[in-house]
């Protein structure tokens, strides 16, 4: 169990840290169409798509891989974690697909898919963490750690709200200084709720429950 929780914690941290750099072949020239709204199209082109693929230095795919492996250690204690496991391939598919969209789609199809997949990716990521964290919490919490569990949930909610806000900032303002400053809120909330998980897990594994 302990090994699985460690893998899950590493995966969650990797997903919280987002440092992307341009890499790979430049996207084909992207045009604007009149009937979709120039302002929205420019935001999608400049903020979501960019000029070339943006690859995360601390890979989200690696983060999902750690979550997947860690969840396999927990599955015998709480079968509900399967819901989180099933979300992981969808998240990885979306992550890779978003990067490749400008190579395969143009105009309306490109803009709608880029915006739709962007927000869908955030929803899937939040649901994945929700199912996994709830399963882990069900496995390790006891009466003596109920207060710590409540603190964990507060930290998790703050982290997920921050993740949703960052998605909006990314869409409207791009990955600028504002985006990376607010990322610190997400990282801080993530560290906080993982610390609460550590306290709960330590109490459980020491046999005090």
pLDDT per residue over 69-94, tens digit each? 999 999 999 999 999 999 999 999 99
Share the mean pLDDT of the chain: 91
How does pLDDT run across 113-122, given as a tens digit for each residue?
999 999 999 9
Residue in 194, 146, 168, 209 with CA at minimum distance from that of residue 47: 168
Q: Determine the Cα–Cα distance for residues 140 and 111; give it in Å rounded to an integer.
A: 44
pTM, whole model, 2 decimals? 0.89
List, for residues 147-172, the tens digit of each pLDDT value.
Answer: 999 999 999 999 999 999 999 999 99
- Rounded Cα distance between 9 and 137, Å, is 13
- What pLDDT does residue 9 have? 95
How would you classify residue 207: left for phi > 0, otherwise alpha for psi between -120 and 50, otherwise beta?
A: left
pLDDT digits (tens, 9 = 90+) for 24-62: 888 988 888 877 788 888 899 999 999 888 888 777 899
Mean pLDDT of 186-196: 96
Task: Among 157-161, 171-175, 184-188, 190-194, name the one with the lowest average pLDDT.
Answer: 171-175
Residues sharing a CB contact under 8 Å with residue 55, sequence separation 6 or more, in sequence order: 20, 21, 22, 23, 24, 99
User: Are residues 60 and 95 in contact, defined by beta-carbon separation less than 8 angstroms?
Assistant: yes
Domain locations along the chain = 2-205
């Amino acid at each position: 169990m302990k090994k699985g929780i460690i893998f899950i914690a590493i995966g969650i941290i990797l997903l919280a840290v987002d440092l992307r750099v341009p890499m790979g072949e430049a996207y084909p020239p992207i045009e604007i169409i009149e009937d979709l709204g120039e302002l929205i199209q420019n935001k999608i082109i400049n903020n979501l798509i960019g000029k070339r693929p943006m690859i995360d230095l601390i890979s989200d795919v690696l983060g999902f891989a750690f979550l997947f492996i860690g969840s396999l250690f927990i599955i015998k204690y709480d079968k509900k974690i399967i819901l989180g496991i099933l979300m992981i391939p969808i998240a990885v598919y979306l992550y890779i697909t978003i990067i490749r969209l400008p190579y395969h789609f143009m105009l309306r199809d490109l803009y709608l898919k880029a915006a739709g997949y962007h927000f869908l990716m955030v929803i899937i990521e939040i649901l994945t963490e929700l199912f996994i964290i709830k399963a882990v919490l069900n496995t390790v919490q006891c009466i003596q750690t109920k207060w710590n569990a409540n603190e964990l949930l507060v930290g998790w909610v703050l982290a997920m709200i921050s993740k949703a806000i960052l998605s909006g900032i990314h869409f409207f303002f791009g990955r600028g200084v504002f985006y990376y400053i607010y990322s610190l809120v997400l990282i801080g909330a993530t560290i906080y709720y993982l610390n609460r998980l550590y306290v709960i897990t330590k109490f459980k594994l020491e046999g005090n429950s």
